[in-house]
Structure 1
Amino acid sequence: MLEVRGLVAGYGAVRALGGVDMSVAEGSVTAVLGANGAGKTTLLRTVSGLLRPRSGSVELDGRDLTRAPVEEIVRLGVAHVPQSGGVITELTVRDNLRLGGLWRRDRAGLARRVAEMYELFPPLAERRDRLAATLSGGERQMLALARALTGGPRLLLVDEPSLGLAPKVVASLMAVLRRLCDEDGRTVLLVEQNARSALSVADRAVVLDLGSVVASEPAATLAADDRLRHAYLGF
């Protein structure tokens, strides 16, 4: 579904990605792992069009996204949940969700999608009329995921959803990502520093180190590789 070839990207004089090649199969969870500074967030920002690559290509179902405007990438079915969620704290839960599907013309369809998010994340249903500023960290991350899903994306890019959250909340969010693939057929590209949690739900894992791919294996194979885990994942 997603093909990244020879991707080089960075910020000013800093090169964060140095020729990344990777593939993401439709209906799968692919985890991107690595230490801070490995290039994980830069990879997601480049795929979603927030950062233009210096060279290389990003293709979705064979369509080149490399120079496409962000809004076109969204309409093609790509949603990006940034690190720390990025919910609008001055809006209610309900309005944050509606905002996620605002670009869609089918108003009835949007209402159905919002209702589905309340079923997927019951705590949001209980707090639908509360400001996002009043939510806990875990609830804000649920809202960030739900807002992205309201637009009906085929490919969901999720950046560090476990950041700062309790283990029980992390387990719940990871289970939702797995369910999105198994039951809804969505595709997830998951950037995560909590490698153990990510590997527990991923089909495949890619390890980045200083902007380069050092491993690309089935998640179970990578989890069983003591050398790679100790060298790059810290467990």
Structure 2
Amino acid sequence: MSDRDLPLLQVRGLTAGYGAAPVLRGIDLTIRTGTITAVLGANGAGKTTLLRTLSGLVRPTGGRIVLAGEEIGATPVERLVRRGMAHVPEGRGVVTELTVEENLRLGGLWRRDRADAKRALDEVYELFAPLARRRRASGHQLSGGERQMLALGRALVARPRLLLLDEPSLGLAPKVTAQIMTLLRDLRDRTGLTVLLVEQNVRSALSVADSGVVLALGQVVVAEDAARLREDDDLRHAYLGF
């Protein structure tokens, strides 16, 4: 059995919400190591809540979350980062008052291996040439595409095993979106990065994903290979709107 057949993340019966209102209702997921899983569905389906619950920002009310064999359902956010999880929220999450380099260094503040943290920073500059050119520019001076690169780069400086990525194409030009999707595929192939990708641009997400999960009203209604989701007209019309 190869590493890509092994589960990095397992979710069983996950329920969560805000106050007394449940948003997620018995979610079951298995995410294999070194794969990209697209999380799809209409607005309000629970996609963002799923990522926020997995990353510790929302406390689950039931079920189990297991990362690399360890239960993490009640683990603080900072400990999840140390265990290899990185979350890039919708809206990019850049600290606009800080420079590009200061934002990137935030991603590696917790790391004790300073030499490798420096290598990780250099690797991000190699991946994102616009950031290297603007390393002393503040966040508010960046374009939307550059801010998305910066948010991704800050997550990658932490060298995550699992990247949770929420709507990376939101507000971006199609060319920039295509570049980001290509980067995710390259990172998966080259480094074995595992990605859980929430994305409204269904075609774009399925073009790079290995598998797809469709949520509706906080429940998993379809879990299939990405290729089948792309090719099955009935599935696409019923759940994905194209």
TM bucket, shorter chain = over 0.9
Deviating beyond 3 angstroms after TM superposition, the runs of 4 or more aligned structure 1 residues are none
Matches within 5 A, 1:142-181: 142-181=149-188
Q: Which residue is 2:109 aligned to?
A: 102
1:37 to 34, 38, 44: 44
Q: Distance in 2 between matches of 1:227 and 1:10?
A: 30
Residue type at the aligned position of 1:90: E
How many Å apart are 1:13 and its aligned residue?
2.5
Q: Which residue is 1:65 aligned to?
A: 72
Matches within 5 A, 1:1-235: 1-235=8-242
Residue 30 of structure 1 aligns to a residue in which SS?
strand
Using the size of structure 1 for normalisation, the TM-score is: 0.99
Residue type at the aligned position of 2:115: A
Percent sequence identity is 66
Q: Distance in 2 between matches of 1:228 and 1:84?
A: 29
- Cα shift readout 1:83-123 (whole Å, capped 9, x = no counterpart): 01101000000110001100001222111111100001111
Q: Distance in 2 between matches of 1:145 and 1:218?
A: 25
RMSD after superposition? 0.7
How many pairs does the alignment contain? 235
Q: Distance in 2 between matches of 1:113 and 1:132?
A: 20
- Cα shift readout 1:38-95 (whole Å, capped 9, x = no counterpart): 0000110111111111100110111000011111111000000000110100000011
How many Å apart are 1:37 and its aligned residue?
0.3
Q: Distance in 2 between matches of 1:159 and 1:168?
A: 18
Q: Distance in 1 between matches of 2:140 and 2:239?
A: 36
Residue 188 of structure 1 aligns to a residue in which SS?
strand
Q: Distance in 1 between matches of 2:138 and 2:129?
A: 16
